[in-house]
């Protein structure tokens, strides 16, 4: 275990930031057939879980990242498969499937912070036919509500919703969607904290059919067990990226997307739709947000009067403000596939290709509760890597009621500096170098970090088959 302090004092508005403490665990060997996940802090311990085919290993670490115990857990049979793992402050739940002859069982186990089994429940039992359906799952913002949807022939045919906290099935139902092409038009399934399900579709997102372009919102009411449907026209433009989220505090569905008038590779701005959960049939709030001249000039490095669009953007995060406003975080990223230099065709006649990953500037757009622009900012960032699936690129968003931190690797290499942007609600931004990994044998997968409380986060460091946990305490 390695522990060192980075001393830095910074004033941001009325917020004073003190020294940071960095704690590093010992190396942990990774097995190729296992997938690891950091569960976060449960009963004052950080728990690492590595799940295999029908079993999982658990390791617990104290506040100084010293290992305190290790345990192996097996599921019911060789046919058991983990679906999802959901943690809370006091326990964690493992949702998994099992097969007994022609029957598929969906089960859940609850473990305490010492990985001791507290309870087990069978959520649902289903008979299997000749056609084996596929399943998709999601859970609510508070992690209490688990939703699983059943898909046959690329169409959603059924769903069930389970309350993990109370240990009870909230609802289950079968569906029949007509005049919907799931392959082309399905966008997102969302579950609210109260168990209400929303399904978002997008129709006619084509330049030649722009006049018929629309969003379709299907809301499944668990009390009436039927769908309400809302159509939102988007006839002025086409879209190429979107982000959908339910605001449980203000009880509304938020739909954010990048739009384009002409070139689908560029974005001319963002659209913002807010649907009232309690008045679903009422007219939704709809606004278009264009990019400011200053933002476009910062993006391209100079001002050009005829330039109004941005390129290669993806929406990565939407932060919900308590006043009903939102903060949109988009990132510029590009992938290029190229024939490796000097590559020859292999025995089967195919060629070897290499993929370059570019993760660059971050765009911030703050939106007022009425949908108008509050402020817009660009955060410069340059990251390049090759053939690594960009696992060390992008950023991690650390949230706090008073401010946000955006952490990222300055460069993608073994010896590197980690920097951060610090942002308050008024749009005041400060950048600083946070830590150096020189001579530390660390290679941080920052976008896979886990925030464990308001002051601490855990960042995985992976070099080859060796994992270290890095705890950053503000």
pLDDT (tens digit per residue) in 31-72: 766 688 999 899 889 999 988 788 899 999 999 999 999 999
Structure confidence at residue 450 as a pLDDT band (50, 70, 90): very high
pLDDT digits (tens, 9 = 90+) for 391-415: 999 999 999 888 899 999 999 998 8
CA angle 257, 261, 263 (to 5 degrees): 95
Query: Are residues 403 and 332 located together in one domain of the fold?
Result: no
How far is CA 311 from each of CA 81, 266, 272, rounded to the nearest angstrom? 41, 4, 19
Residues 303 and 383 reside in one and the same domain: yes
Residue 210 within a domain: no
Instruction: Using alpha carbons, select from 441, 381, 374 the residue that is nearest to residue 409.
Output: 381
Residue 289 lies in a domain: yes
Q: Are residues 370 and 254 in the same domain?
A: yes
Helix (H) or strand (E) holding 398: strand 396-399
In a domain, 212, yes or no: no
Q: Are residues 332 and 462 in the same domain?
A: no
Q: To which H or E segment does residue 295 belong?
A: helix 293-300
- Kindly state whether residue 469 falls inside one of the protein's structural domains: yes
Both 386 and 399 in one domain: the answer is: no
pLDDT of residue 5: 41
- How would residue 305 be classed by pLDDT, with cut points 50, 70 and 90? confident
Q: Report the pLDDT averaged over residues 148-159.
A: 90
Report the C-alpha gap between 42 and 139 in whole angstroms. 19
Give 154-177 pLDDT, tens digit per residue: 889 999 999 999 999 999 999 988
Tell me the sheet residues that pair with 110: 93, 119
Q: Strand 20-24 vs strand 466-473: parallel, antiparallel, or unpaired?
A: antiparallel
Q: Residue 250 above 50 pLDDT?
A: yes
- Distance of alpha carbon 210 from alpha carbon 203, whole angstroms: 10
Mean pLDDT, residues 287-310: 89
Does residue 382 share a domain with residue 260? Answer: yes
Q: Is 226 left (phi over 0), alpha (psi -120 to 50) or beta?
A: beta
For 3-40, how does the pLDDT look when each residue is reduced to its tens digit (9 = 90+)?
A: 444 333 332 333 334 468 999 999 998 876 668 899 98
Residue 25 sits in which domain range?
Answer: 1-30+395-474
50 lies in some domain: no
Residue with tokens 């963002």: 270
| Domain count for the chain | 2
Sign of the C-alpha dihedral, residues 131, 174, 243, 403?
Answer: negative
Task: Say whether both 385 and 401 belong to one domain.
Answer: no
Whole-number pLDDT of residue 426: 83
Q: Are 135 and 75 in contact (CB under 8 A)?
A: no
Same domain, yes or no, for 358 and 424?
no
Does one domain contain both 412 and 456?
Answer: yes
Boundary-marking domain end, from 331, 363, 390: 390
Residue 151 lies in a domain: no
Same domain, 372 and 427: no
Q: Give dist(CA 64, CA 221) in Å, integer.
A: 47
Contact residues for 451 (Cβ-Cβ < 8 A; gap 6+):
40, 398, 399, 457
Question: At which of 390, 416, 449 does a domain end?
Answer: 390
Which DSSP symbol is given to 446? Answer: G
For the record, the structure tokens of 219 come out as 């809301």
* End-of-domain residue from the set 325, 360, 390: 390
Average pLDDT, the chain: 89
pLDDT band at 350 (very low <50, low <70, confident <90, very high): low
Closest Cα to residue 95, out of 122, 77, 71, 134?
A: 122
Give me the pLDDT at residue 131, please. 63
> What DSSP letter does each residue of 140-171 carry, written as one string?
-TTS-EEEEEEEETTEEEEEEEEETTTTEEEE
Q: What is the arithmetic mean of pLDDT over 99-115? A: 93
pTM: 0.89
Q: What is the mean pLDDT of residues 315-331?
A: 93
Cβ contacts of 448 within 8 Å, gap of 6 or more:
38, 391, 396, 459, 460
- Considering the domain boundaries, does residue 187 fall inside one? no
- pLDDT band per the 50, 70, 90 thresholds, residue 464: confident
Task: Tell me whether strands 2-6 and 10-12 are parallel, antiparallel or unpaired.
Answer: unpaired
Three-state secondary-structure class, residue 109: strand
Judgement on whether residues 367 and 422 belong to the same structural domain of the protein: no
pLDDT of residue 401: 82
Q: Strand order of the sheet with strand 238-247?
A: 238-247, 252-260, 269-276, 285-290
The Cα 334–Cα 356 span in angstroms is 8
With the CA atoms of 186, 192, 195 and 199 taken in that order, what torsion angle do they form, in degrees rounded to the nearest 10? Answer: -10
51 occurs within a structural domain: no
- What's the confidence (pLDDT) of residue 11? 29
Q: Do residues 360 and 453 share a domain? A: no
Q: What percent of the chain has pLDDT over 70?
A: 91
C-alpha dihedral sign at 265, 271, 272, 275: negative
How high is the pLDDT of residue 326? 95
CB atoms within 10 A of CB 71: 14
């Amino acid at each position: 275990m390695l522990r060192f302090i980075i001393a830095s004092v910074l004033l941001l508005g009325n917020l004073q930031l003190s020294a940071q403490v960095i704690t590093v665990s010992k190396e942990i060997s990774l097995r190729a057939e296992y997938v690891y996940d950091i569960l976060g802090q449960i009963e004052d311990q950080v728990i690492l879980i590595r799940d295999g085919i029908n079993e999982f290993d658990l390791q617990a670490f104290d506040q100084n990242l010293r290992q305190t115990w290790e345990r192996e857990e097996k599921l019911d049979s060789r046919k058991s498969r983990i679906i999802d793992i959901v943690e809370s402050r006091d326990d964690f739940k493992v949702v998994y499937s099992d097969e007994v002859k022609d029957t598929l069982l969906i089960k859940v186990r609850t473990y305490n912070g010492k990985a001791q089994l507290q309870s087990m429940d069978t959520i649902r039992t289903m008979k299997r036919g000749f056609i084996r359906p596929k399943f998709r799952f999601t859970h609510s913002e508070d992690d209490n509500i688990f939703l699983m949807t059943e898909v046959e022939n690329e169409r959603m045919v059924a769903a069930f919703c389970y309350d993990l906290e109370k240990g009870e099935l909230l609802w289950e139902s079968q569906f029949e969607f007509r005049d919907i092409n799931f392959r082309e038009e399905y966008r997102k399934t969302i579950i609210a904290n109260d168990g209400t399900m929303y399904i978002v579709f997008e129709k006619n997102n084509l330049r030649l059919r722009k006049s018929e372009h629309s969003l379709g919102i299907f809301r499944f009411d668990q009390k009436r067990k039927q769908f309400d449907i809302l159509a939102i026209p988007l006839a002025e433009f086409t879209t190429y990226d979107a982000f959908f989220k339910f605001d449980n505090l203000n009880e509304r569905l938020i739909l954010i997307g990048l739009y384009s008038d002409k070139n689908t590779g560029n974005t001319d701005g963002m659209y913002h739709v807010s649907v009232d959960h309690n008045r679903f049939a009422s007219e939704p709030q709809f606004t278009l947000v264009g990019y400011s001249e200053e933002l476009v000039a910062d993006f391209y490095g100079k001002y050009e009067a005829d330039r109004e669009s941005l390129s290669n953007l993806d929406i990565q995060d939407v932060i919900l403000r308590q006043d009903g406003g939102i903060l949109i975080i988009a990132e510029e990223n590009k992938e290029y596939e190229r024939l490796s230099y000097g590559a020859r065709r292999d025995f089967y006649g195919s060629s070897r290709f290499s993929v370059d990953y570019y993760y660059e500037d971050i765009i911030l757009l703050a939106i007022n509760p009425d949908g108008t622009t509050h402020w817009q900012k660009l955060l410069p960032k340059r990251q390049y890597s090759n053939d690594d699936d960009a696992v060390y690129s992008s950023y991690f968003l650390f949230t706090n009621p008073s401010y946000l931190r955006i952490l990222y690797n300055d460069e993608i290499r073994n010896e590197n500096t980690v920097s951060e942007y610090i942002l308050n609600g008024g749009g005041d931004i400060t950048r600083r170098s946070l830590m150096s990994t020189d001579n530390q044998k660390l290679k941080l997968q920052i976008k896979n970090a886990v925030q464990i409380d308001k002051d601490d986060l855990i960042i995985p460091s992976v070099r080859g088959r060796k994992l270290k946990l890095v705890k950053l305490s503000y």
